[in-house]
Amino acid sequence: MSDSPTQSEQRSEIYVGPQPEVNIGTLGHVDNGKSTLVQALTGVWTSRHSEELRRGITIRIGYADAAFYKCERCKAPSCYTNKNQCPEHGSQAEFLRAVSFVDCPGHHSLMVTMLSGASLMDGALFVVASDTKCPQAQDREHLLAADIAGLKNIVIVQNKIDIVDQKRAMESYKEIKQFVKKTVAEDAPIVPVSAQHGTNIDVLIEAMEKHILTPKRDSTAPVRMPILRSFDVNKPGTEPEQLAGGVIGGSISQGTLRVGDEIEISPGIRIETSGKTSYEKIQTSVMSLRAGGTSVKEAKSGGLVAVATDLDPSLAKSDSFVGNMAGNPGTLPEVAEKLTLEAHLFERVVGIEGMSHVDKIKTKEPLVLNVATAVTSGVVSSARTDIVEIDLRKPICVDPSSKIAISRRIGEGWRLIGHGTMK
């Protein structure tokens, strides 16, 4: 194994550089060390919310950027690094690409949040802890979610290799190989690491460079940006004339966004009129863009981007725009208040003891649906053999070609039971 700087040495090194061109997610059970791994790669601890810090788990989608480099003087895998200078020679390393990491919650109660993050991923690190038996409860759910999201490029990270002996490490490896048989991750490389100590990070970067490629994107198409976060960035007590507009964050799936552009947000803001709820699209101007840790004049498809607008900041606070779609006015897909899906259900419920059989969807049954970054609930108005009609409680702006994850209330939480495509 090869050693990289420890996370304490990396903590202050926040990425600033070219806009990231690919989104790589972290998947796996809650205790497998996903956030620690992202910190080893980026220097950023993604769990920033007070409740996350108190409980020691990821609750919201976390994100951080990094750049990968290669030293031409070193042999693989030690030639790969996340530093612009070779750790061994101190010479300038060749820039390969910038990457955005999307750190997803692993707790079962946050599965619908994880599905929102998975929709933005171009590839994923599936993180398994060497000191616990594989699979853990949410490992199965996350792997199925990757399949639903269409993720083909996966690298398996066998984490916490530093706290087990060789015998347990080999047992863990065999458990992983058995678990991923006949899944989307069957042929994925398995990289043993210690995220806590930064061990084998060079090997992991090499695996990502070889197996998680940057997809081709259409930068000339109309802009599509599923919104993953939204913020009011103003500090309490800011004078009205000094207030900055609301900020939305996400990943541009197609097109190019520029400072000064007009954008539309759909379905938009919630309006209550005479006891009835409706949603209204809103338009705003792009005041500034931030990508790769710096301000930019334009942001292209790929990677995560923050868009400062001229919206009332109160509209954007507390992730209120999450699940909306931003894009060029008049080009976004239609807003749906009702969906007709061709449903594909799993044989068994995953993520719970016993893996009970998945029953057919029934009329009047409540369901939770994930599409892109949107999460909505609905009630089944009609259920035939494979065709399900659902009245949504909150409308969504959805591309007709999207896959939609379906979750059902089982016990105390919502469990993933299948997926659907729009009819």
pLDDT tens digits for range 324-360: 999 999 999 999 999 999 999 988 877 666 668 899 9
pLDDT at 95 over 70: yes
Domains 7-211 and 224-327 share a fold: no
- Contacting residues for 73 by C-beta, under 8 A, at least 6 apart: 79, 86, 89, 91
Stretch 230-253: mean pLDDT, rounded?
A: 94
Fold of 335-422: Elongation Factor Tu (Ef-tu); domain 3 (2.40.30)
Residue 413: per-residue pLDDT:
80
- CA dist., res. 158 & res. 135, Å (int): 12
Residue 354: per-residue pLDDT:
60
What is the domain class of 7-211 according to CATH?
alpha beta
Concatenate the DSSP letters of all residues of 364-398 into one string. Answer: T-EEEEEETTEEEEEEEEEE-SSEEEEEEEEEEE-
Instruction: Give bridge partners of residue 367 from the DSSP assignment.
Output: 378
Could you tell me the pLDDT band of residue 53, with boundaries at 50, 70 and 90? very low
For residue range 171-229, what is the model confidence (pLDDT) as tens digits?
999 999 999 999 999 999 999 999 999 999 999 999 999 999 999 999 999 999 999 89
Residue 146: per-residue pLDDT:
85
Q: Please provide the CATH number assigned to the domain covering 224-327.
A: 2.40.30.10
List the chain domain ranges.
7-211, 224-327, 335-422
For residue range 183-199, what is the model confidence (pLDDT) as tens digits?
999 999 999 999 999 99
For residue range 110-139, what is the model confidence (pLDDT) as tens digits?
456 667 667 788 999 999 999 999 998 778
Percent of the chain at pLDDT above 90? Answer: 64
Place of tokens 């706290």: 163
Residue 48: per-residue pLDDT:
47
Angle (CA) 117 122 128, round 5°: 70
